[in-house]
Structure 1
Amino acid sequence: MMAQEQTPDLQPRALCWPGERHCAALAKLARQAMEQWHLTWLDGRHDVSLDVVCAPAHAGGEVQDWQPLVNAADADDGVWVSEPAGARQLLAALLGIVPSSASRALPALAAELAAQARGDYLLALKQALAGGRSEATQVAGYPRPMPAAHSRVWSGAVRMDISAGGSPVVQLHLGPRRVQALAPIAAKPAPVTAQPLADLGQALSSQRARLRVELSSVEITLGQMQALALGDVLLLPHLLEQPLRVFEDQGRQICAGYLGQQEGGKAIELVREPPSVDA
């Protein structure tokens, strides 16, 4: 990991202070990128709360392992990233593949999957915070160190802390020009993609429903019930030619049916008209 370099900065700088509304908009931009990553990887199967806190960089404390995420020609236009120790294990936990012991290394396949997930979320953050800039506008080669002036009050730089389920995942540092460049983008509402409406019948076709088929009830005395034994026969007031009643799970009768057999098992042939209440 590359330690942060305190590059001398003797040039006069304009004072800039990112307001609360601006920080909230930038945090929303990063949260949307993380939520999209979460949806892509987990498809909503595992609910994890994602939290993004954005504040002026001077209030973020010292971090010694910043790495360039957007390596711009102008350091004030760059973005740096720092990942806390154990972020790999945290990603594995998010994906449900954390080892039983916290001290035990991840299995090879789990580590590879966690590494792919890490690469994807860093790419999602990079694309969101690059503000639509192409890779051609960024500088290749030696990473530019973060200027020491970014940690001063009124520098205009911001620090973002992203956590998942209460555990830190990644920290981001945005230079003052990158903050200003993202201002109009962050203020725009996120585009809403209209999802095509499915036919009601098609949407419900895969839902499971429970049906209940009943004969007529029978009443006996408590003495008769106590005297029941295996082999006894209960006479029902249900005539052989009288159809059975078919109910839905909520107790509403939907149709009638006749008892039969098919493929070696009992079966019910449904009829449209339900039997009368008095039948």
Structure 2
Amino acid sequence: MNGEDWLPPETAVPAALDRRIAELVADWSARWFVGAGPEVQGLYRRGGGGGENWRGPPGGVTLRVPADAVAALGGRALDVPATDRRASDRELLESVGEDVLTDLRQRLAALVGSADAPWTPLFTAPSRTAMIGDLTLGLTDAAFARLAREAMAQTSYGPLGDGGQALARQRIRLGASVGGARLAFGDLHALAIGDVVVLDHALDAPLALTADHVRLTAGRGMIAIDSEATLRITQTIASVS
């Protein structure tokens, strides 16, 4: 067992992979059927059970076809009921249905890169399945992992929006740094009420602005004291350092 073959049981099916399978079935249905084709149910992890009636090529894709499904496909293609038919009519429906089924098998085989390989009986049930009408599509863990990786790699995202615009309504605390002083730890510990510490900032020099206590790389302000202290911006604000 290697990293490609193994997946945790709870691994989710990428929506892009379900869409890829649904689009494949839709194209197949549009070729053969009038109106809506067979309903497709997304992939899910299969429980226990045997591998009876599964057929597939090398590559990890399988298909289970129940009894009477081939004649039903022929009836749907010809837009006639497939039940209660004479032997000759049923033979015709099965012939048409086999062509319809062969086309689906070729499309599924191409999905895993095995378009020219023969379909043979399999005796190991796949780990993940999806219903296509009465048919059951199966994928081994290895095939599922490969297709999921391809589907996610093809998923495209639009360009990210402007970060400034996204944060425009975010509220921050604007302040100003009035300077500081470097002291030995012992001197700091010895400070008492009434002691004076000289800061490294002149009273008439612009103050560095802060946003949420983080210094801005550009932007200066001046303190004006009237009824309350205010800041006057004296340099363009650029970013947070």
Give TM-score, length-normalised by structure 2: 0.51
Superposition pairs for residues 193-212 of structure 1, below 5 Å?
none
Superposition pairs for residues 96-245 of structure 1, below 5 Å?
96-99=78-81, 101-102=83-84, 104-105=86-87, 106-128=89-111, 130=112, 132=113, 135=116, 145-146=123-124, 157-163=127-133, 168=134, 170-187=135-152, 188=154
- How many angstroms apart in 1 are the aligned matches of 2:63 and 2:119? 17
- How many angstroms apart in 1 are the aligned matches of 2:25 and 2:45? 21
Does the CA contact (< 8 Å) of 1:91 and 1:117 recur in 2?
Answer: yes
Q: Does 1:71 align with 2:63?
A: no
Q: What residue ranges of structure 2 are gaps of 5+ in the alignment?
A: 157-241
- How many angstroms apart in 2 are the aligned matches of 1:28 and 1:186? 9
- How many angstroms apart in 1 are the aligned matches of 2:6 and 2:30? 40
Does the CA contact (< 8 Å) of 2:109 and 2:115 recur in 1?
Answer: no
Residue of structure 1 in register with 2:46 after alignment: 57
Q: Alpha-carbon deviation of 1:53?
A: 2.9
Larger Rg: 2
- How many angstroms apart in 2 are the aligned matches of 1:134 and 1:117? 16
1:41 pairs, out of 13, 32, 35, with 32
Q: Does 1:19 align with 2:19?
A: no
- The one-letter amino acid of 1:46's match is G
Secondary structure of 2:53's partner?
coil
Q: Alpha-carbon deviation of 1:26?
A: 3.1
- How many angstroms apart in 2 are the aligned matches of 1:184 and 1:144? 25
Secondary structure of 1:120's partner?
helix
CA RMSD between the two structures: 3.4
- How many angstroms apart in 1 are the aligned matches of 2:39 and 2:120? 32
Does the CA contact (< 8 Å) of 1:53 and 1:162 recur in 2?
Answer: no
Aligned length: 151
Does the CA contact (< 8 Å) of 2:51 and 2:123 recur in 1?
Answer: no
Does the CA contact (< 8 Å) of 1:159 and 1:171 recur in 2?
Answer: yes
Does the CA contact (< 8 Å) of 2:129 and 2:137 recur in 1?
Answer: yes
Does the CA contact (< 8 Å) of 2:7 and 2:145 recur in 1?
Answer: no
- The one-letter amino acid of 1:65's match is N
Task: Give the share of equivalent positions with the same residue, in percent.
Answer: 20
Distance 1:18 1:94, change over 3 A: farther
Higher relative contact order (CA 8 A, sep 6+): 1
- The one-letter amino acid of 2:11's match is G
- How many angstroms apart in 1 are the aligned matches of 2:119 and 2:42? 31
Q: Alpha-carbon deviation of 1:172?
A: 2.2
Q: Does 1:85 align with 2:67?
A: yes
Does the CA contact (< 8 Å) of 1:70 and 1:126 recur in 2?
Answer: yes
Give TM-score, length-normalised by structure 1: 0.45
Does the CA contact (< 8 Å) of 2:13 and 2:43 recur in 1?
Answer: no
Q: Does 1:30 align with 2:17?
A: no
Does the CA contact (< 8 Å) of 1:80 and 1:174 recur in 2?
Answer: yes
Residue of structure 2 in register with 1:267 after alignment: none
Distance 1:124 1:141, change over 3 A: closer
Q: Alpha-carbon deviation of 1:48?
A: 3.3
Structure 1 range deviating more: 170-179 or 46-55: 46-55
